[in-house]
Amino acid sequence: MSQHLSEQELVRRESLTKLRALGINPYPQALYPVNTLSRDITENFVEGKKVIIAGRLMARRIQGNASFAEIQDSEGRVQVYFKRDEICEGEDKTLYNEVYKKLLDNGDFIGVEGELFTTQVGEKSIRVKKFILLSKSLKPLPLPKIDSEGNVHDAFSDPELRYRRRYVDLVVNEHVKATFIKRSKIITSMRNFLNSKGYLEVETPILQAIPGGAAARPFITHHNALDIPLYLRIANELYLKRLIVGGFDGVYEFAKDFRNEGMDRTHNPEFTQMEIYVSYKDYHWMMDFTEEMLETICNEVLGTTTVKIGNNEVSFKRPFKRISMIDAIKEHTGIDIVDMDQIQLRETCKKLNVAFDDSMGKGKLIDELFGEKCEANYIQPTFITDYPKEMSPLCKEHRDNPELTERFELMVNGKELANAYTELNDPIDQKERFEEQARLAEKGDDEAMFIDMDFVRALEYGMPPTSGMGIGIDRLCMFLTNNSSIQEVLFFPQMKPEKKALELSEAEKTILTLMKATPKMELGALKNATRLSGKQFDTGMKGLSKHGLIKVEVNDEAKFCVLQA
RNA sequence: GAUUUGGUAGCUCAGUCGGUAGAGCAUAUCCCUUUUAAGGAUAGGGUCCUGGGUUCGAAUCCCAGCCAGAUCACCA
C-alpha cells in the first residue's frame, strides 16, 4: 500500500522538500512556548492582548495579501488573521507568499504569536505577528464543515474508518472527543467517590492460572518459563475477596476484563468493569451505596440527574425502585410463580412463548422468564433483587428463602448496569457450589466456572460478611453519553485486521510474462495470447498500467502494449 | 451465528435500460487586503471492495468471498 500516494500526499511531500530548501525544519526540536488556549481567547477576550498559541491549521480563507485561518488546539478553534506586510516587514515576502500560502496545508501544526483583535464582522481573532511550522501533516484530513444553520457538510461518519483511524475521528469530530472527555470524568468522579468513602484502590492479576469470578469463556495464553497455560481474567472478584480475607475493609479496582465471546454493538472482547467489596455490609447496604454513587456521578459530570438515553428520559435521582425478581415477573405477566415447581414453570414458559430446553432447572427458567418478559421494561433505574440460587454460585443464600440468593442487578434503560451480592463466605458451601459448576462443565456448559481451591482455602481462613458490586463502566458511559454502541465509548474498539495490499493478480502475471518475452505487442494479439476473458484482460491491463509496468501506445490504426523498464 | 443494507475521487455522495466515470468540498495554477460551510476562473485526481461468471461490452446483471453498519439470537 505504501508505494501508492495520492496526488495530495505527493504535493505535501514536495512542500516538505521545498520547506527544507528554504531552511525551514518541518519538524523542529525546540519546545514552543504556548501560553494561551483557544478557549481562553474566546471566553476571556482582551483587545490587544499578546498571546502565543499552537495547534492544527484547519481552514484558510485567503484574500490576496490578507488571509483568515483557523487554528484548532485541544480546547477548540480560534481564528487568526495573517497580513502579508505584518509577517514580512521587509522586501522579501517569501514567508507569506510561499511558506504560508503554498507550503502550509490543512492539518499542519503551527505556532502563532500575535495580539487579539476583533474583525469588522465581530469575530474574536488573533492578528499574527510571527508564526512557525511545528509539524507538517502529510495526509489530508477530512474537513467537515458546519454551516450557519448547523448542518454538517462532508461529515466524517463512516464507522469503519472512524474506529480504525480514531485519531482522525478525534481531530475532526468534536462530539467524539467530548464523549471521551466525559468518559474520563465519569471514571474520575467514581474514583473520587470511592476514595471519599475510604476504600482502597488496588490492582490484582490480569494473567490468572484459574479464571474465576464469572461464567464466561476466557482467552488463553502460555507462559514460556513456567510452561503453563495462563488465562486473561474474566473478572476480578475472587482476588478482591482474598483481600477482604486479608483484612481490608473496602477494596475496589477498575479492571479491564477479557471474554472470548461474540462482538457486537454492546460487547467488546476487552471491557472495563469496576468491582468493589466492602466488609460487614450486605446487599441492602450496597443498593443504597450504588444509588448514592450514581447520583453523585451524574451531578458532578452532567450537572443533573436527568439523562436522555435514546428516546427515553432517565432519572438517576435517589431512591431507585427495588423489586424482587419474582414480583417483577408477577408485575409484567400477572403470574405468581412463587410456589411453582419445575414442571409448572415449564408450562408457564410455554404459555408465555418463552423458549426453554430440557436442561434448564428452576432457576434458569425463572431467569429466562424475567429476561424475556420483564427486563426491557425497566427504563428507570431499578434494582431487581433475589435471584435463583443456581444462577449465582458466589452469592450467599437468601436469609428468608433458601432457593434464592441475596443478589441484585441494577437495570437501566432495559439493560443490566450493575450486579451485586451479599457475598458467600461459607467455605464449605462455596466448595459445594464450585463442584456443582464442575458437574455442569462436564455436561458441556462451557460457561460453568472453574474450581478455584485457593479461593476456597482463603475462605476457610475466614472472610467477614461482605457485600460486593460490579458495574460496567463502558455501559455506564454509553448511558451517560447517550451512545447506543460500545464502540463509541472505547477509543480503540476491536476490529478485524485490515486487508493486506494485494500482490499482482494472476491476470497481471500472465500479461507480464508475455510482455517480458515480447516487450512490444499489438493489443489484440496480446489479448489472444493471454487467452484471458475480456474482463480479466481489461482489469489486468489496468492494474499493470497503474503499477507503471506497461504502457499502451496508439499509432494510427493499431494499439500497442509496451513494457516499461 | 441468522437476516438485511451498504462498499464509486482525500471527505460526503449521485450514477437512468448494461454502452468511454459524475457533483460538491478538498488539492493545484492564476486573480483578489476584514472573511465566516462555500470569493472568482481553470485544471488534475478513480483497483467503481476482491475474485469468478454472463455479454461484443459490466460500477450496473449472476455467483462466491472480504469488510462494515443495522436488526435479531447468544451473553455471570
pLDDT of residue A565: 42
Residue A382, helix vs strand vs coil: strand
Which residues 238-267 of A interface with strand B at a CB distance below 7 A? 257, 259, 261-262, 264-267
Question: Average pLDDT for residues A295-321, to the nearest whole number?
Answer: 94
Q: Is the CB of A92 under 7 A from strand B?
A: no
Burial grade of A220 (CB within 10 A; 0-12, 13-18, 19 or more): exposed
pLDDT of residue A3: 47
Q: How far does the CA of A6 sit from the C1' of B9, in Å?
A: 10
Which residues 387-416 of A interface with strand B at a CB distance below 7 A? 391-392
Q: Is the CB of A136 under 7 A from strand B?
A: no
Q: Is the CB of A7 under 7 A from strand B?
A: yes
- Nucleotide with minimal C1' distance from the CA of A447 is B76
* Total residue count of chain A as it appears in this document: 565
Q: How far does the CA of A494 sit from the C1' of B16, in Å?
A: 41
Q: How far does the CA of A507 sit from the C1' of B54, in Å?
A: 19
**Residue A2 binned pLDDT confidence (cut-offs 50, 70, 90):** very low
pLDDT at A247 over 60: yes
- Nucleotide with minimal C1' distance from the CA of A8 is B27
Question: Average pLDDT for residues A509-513, to the nearest whole number?
Answer: 62
Q: Is the CB of A505 under 7 A from strand B?
A: yes
Q: At what angle do helices A174-196 and A473-480 cross, to 10 degrees?
A: 120
Those residues with Cβ within 8 angstroms of residue A18's Cβ, 6 or more apart along the chain or in another chain: A98, A103
Question: Average pLDDT for residues A341-370, to the nearest whole number?
Answer: 82
- With CA atoms as reference, report the closest residue to A250 among A277, A230, A274: A277
Q: Is the CB of A275 under 7 A from strand B?
A: no
Could you give the C-alpha distances from A77 to A3, A102, A407, A466, in angstroms and in order? 35, 22, 50, 51
> What is the secondary structure of A193-261 as a DSSP string?
HHHHTTPEE----SEESS--SS-SPPPEEEETTTTEEEEE-S--HHHHHHHHHTT-SEEEEEEEEE--S
Whole-number Å distance between alpha carbons of A93 and A78? 25
* Main-chain dihedrals φ then ψ at residue A328, nearest 5 degrees: -60, -40
**Residue A563 binned pLDDT confidence (cut-offs 50, 70, 90):** low
- Other CB atoms closer than 10 Å to residue A52's CB: what's the count? 15
Whole-number Å distance between alpha carbons of A96 and A115? 18
Strand partners, A59: A70
- Nucleotide with minimal C1' distance from the CA of A534 is B57
- Other CB atoms closer than 10 Å to residue A367's CB: what's the count? 19
Q: How far does the CA of A61 sit from the C1' of B40, in Å?
A: 13
* Main-chain dihedrals φ then ψ at residue A163, nearest 5 degrees: -75, -40
Report the predicted TM-score, pTM, of the whole model to 2 decimal places.
Answer: 0.86
What torsion do the CA atoms of A138, A140, A146, A148 make, to the nearest 10 degrees? 80
Q: How far does the CA of A333 sit from the C1' of B67, in Å?
A: 43
Q: Is the CB of A437 under 7 A from strand B?
A: no
The tens digit of pLDDT for each residue in A76-88 reads 999 999 999 888 8
- Nucleotide with minimal C1' distance from the CA of A257 is B76
Q: How far does the CA of A162 sit from the C1' of B10, in Å?
A: 15
ipTM rounded to 2 decimals: 0.88
Measured from Cα to the C1' atom, the residue closest to B32 is A64
Q: How far does the CA of A497 sit from the C1' of B50, in Å?
A: 16
Q: Are A275 and A253 in contact (CB under 8 A)?
A: yes
Q: At what angle do helices A453-461 and A237-245 cross, to 10 degrees?
A: 30
Tell me, what DSSP letter sits at residue A44? S
Helix H or strand E segment including A347? helix A342-351
* Main-chain dihedrals φ then ψ at residue A155, nearest 5 degrees: -60, 145
- With CA atoms as reference, report the closest residue to A532 among A510, A502, A557: A510
pLDDT of residue A556: 47
Q: Is the CB of A63 under 7 A from strand B?
A: yes
Q: Are A124 and A41 in contact (CB under 8 A)?
A: yes
- Nucleotide with minimal C1' distance from the CA of A214 is B76
CA angle in degrees (0–180, nearest 5) for A176-A177-A180: 95
Question: Cα dihedral sign for A339, A341, A347, A352?
Answer: positive
The tens digit of pLDDT for each residue in A380-429 reads 999 999 998 878 889 999 999 998 999 999 999 988 999 999 999 999 99
Nucleotides on strand B with an atom closer than 7 A to protein CB? 1, 9-13, 24-29, 31-39, 44-45, 47-48, 50-58, 66-76
Q: Are A202 and A255 in contact (CB under 8 A)?
A: no
Look up residue A44 and give its three cell numbers: 476571556
Q: Is the CB of A542 under 7 A from strand B?
A: yes
Q: Are A325 and A387 in contact (CB under 8 A)?
A: yes
Q: Is the CB of A355 under 7 A from strand B?
A: yes
Look up residue A347 and give its three cell numbers: 408450562
Which residues 290-329 of A interface with strand B at a CB distance below 7 A? none
Which residues 200-219 of A interface with strand B at a CB distance below 7 A? 214-216
The tens digit of pLDDT for each residue in A416-444 reads 999 999 999 999 999 998 888 888 777 76
Q: Are A426 and A443 in contact (CB under 8 A)?
A: no
Whole-number Å distance between alpha carbons of A245 and A464? 7
Q: How far does the CA of A506 sit from the C1' of B65, in Å?
A: 17
Question: Average pLDDT for residues A333-350, to the nearest whole number?
Answer: 86
Q: Give the rounded percent of residues in chain A with a pLDDT score beyond 70.
A: 86
- Other CB atoms closer than 10 Å to residue A134's CB: what's the count? 20
Q: Is the CB of A487 under 7 A from strand B?
A: yes
Q: How far does the CA of A491 sit from the C1' of B36, in Å?
A: 32
Q: Are A483 and A475 in contact (CB under 8 A)?
A: no
